[in-house]
Structure 1
Amino acid sequence: MLVAGVLAVLATAACGSDEPGGKAGRDLLDRLSPVGTPTATVVDLARVRKELGLPADFGGATGSREAAQQRFDSIVAMAYPIWSTPLKSAVRDAVDLGRVSAVANNGVGRQAVTVLATGQKLGEITAALKAGGYTEDNGVWRAPAGNRVTAAAAVGGGDGFLVTGADAATVRSTARGEGTGFKGRVRELIDQLDAPAAAAVDYPSGCVDAAAVADDIAGQKGRIMLIVPGASTDRVRTGEIQSFTVDTSKVEGDKVTVTLTHARAEITPLQFVGGERSVTEVYGC
């Protein structure tokens, strides 16, 4: 059974969040466990919608040319990979994104999962999954043979939340509240950024020990925070770097903080952690 405290957290998240810093989104990290290189992405969709001037129940508009809607879709996809797949997905069809208030995931790979805080009834979702060929297996709904969307291979959930992922056992344990939660540097950096959408990674090797990125939404601004032993201002890149412009940089001990502006609505600074970009584009190792 799920502990009452976790249920309370998820119920709060499912109702939307007006809390500073999107705490409802960050609380989802308590349900996840680090896998491989500790990485997490958290998006407070209630706050993102508000910052973008979108309706409180906006559920995405894939393919839209409207800037705010493009921003929304690009941010959602970083935490909820099913959203961006061009393949047909029964999970994407079953989940009403307009009723999702926060999303978090713990990276990529077979053991990675995504948790959504939602006001949608689990029975409504599972009925749609069943119609799409999913079958129930000890509390987890498994995709039918031939499923090509890895992140939608298994689905679990409970009161106010949904879990999706590639591995049924991992989805099941996450839904049961058996995850260890993020308690280390990744969680600390995301909390420090206090942003509508943020991602962080704790690297096992390399010149950068850890990195975190915030999409601050307003003004198409973002921040990158790096932990670099012996950080040097001389290594911080300036000017334009492929659709992003470095506005300011600051080095305090081992911490490097960079502010960015991006020129295109369909991209997000979250790409620098867990996406197609690398923080070494900002800090030269």
Structure 2
Amino acid sequence: MSKTVVANQASSVVIPETTDRRLLVVDFLAQRFKHVSREQWQQRMQQGRVYWHDHKLIGLDTLVEPKARVYYYRELESEPEVPLYEHLVFENENFVVAFKPHFLALNPSGNVIENCLVNRLRKSLVCEELTPAHRLDRATAGLVLLVKKVEHRHRYHELFASRRIKKTYQALSMGDGVDENSQWHINSRITKGQPSFRMVSQPTEDPNSWSKIVKIDTLKHISLFELEPITGKTHQLRLHMNDIGYPILNDRLYPELLSEAALDYSNPLKLLAQKLSFIDPLDQRAYDFSVAGFDLNTELL
């Protein structure tokens, strides 16, 4: 564990339009973020770490402004170390493609500030504006596209929104290879479950998620799958693998929520974002990136 950690970049929250204008900002923040005490917010304000979009400082007696955005710096008394490391796959003047290991968060969240992919790369590449163009679960390893300049972010985000980028994953699951099907086109409606960090996949005539899944090899009791998500819902591939009866190896959320336990770096979720293909919206060049996939022989050792 390290000492108190303060984020280098500010986070923000928008004050809802319906908020009572007589409410102090310090009270709004204490109510909004219940894990941070009112006294801690007061201390951050006194240190100049809470401000409006125009960088005007917010004081202890400042009233809320509905629909305004409040900026603040996240702090943690301690942050867990992650003894796993990313590596660069490609870099040019506009974007970076990096490999994110299992267990490393993509962005600051919860008990993570500095030990995430984006902040590690901002430091190593000296690029404070670096931002991921898409999501990748902490439990999942693989390729991530990150944009270098603020003014280009929307161009790369649009690649994903308009489905003009192809992402291919690999997954491992228990299976003996005896199956009527070797490929599936899955669609379902994915919604929040209970607890809220688990999702629920249900068959419906009004789906919001689509995936293509192909079983490409089986060795003894383990099967290797190639997955192509057409949409990008939270936990989509984990849910769709479970839907076809092949839950991903070492998945602690699906099909059942397993009890909390210390991180076991030797047993990661067997899901890998292996390939990324797209035409760059700025230079119009075609790019194809990949990393080594799972080796069934190695997995059986």
Task: Please give the range of the TM-score, normalised by the shorter of the 2 chains.
Answer: under 0.3
TM-score (norm 1): 0.27
Going by fraction, where is helix more abundant, 1 or 2? 1
Going by fraction, where is strand more abundant, 1 or 2? 2
Q: Which has the larger radius of gyration?
A: 2
TM-score (norm 2): 0.26
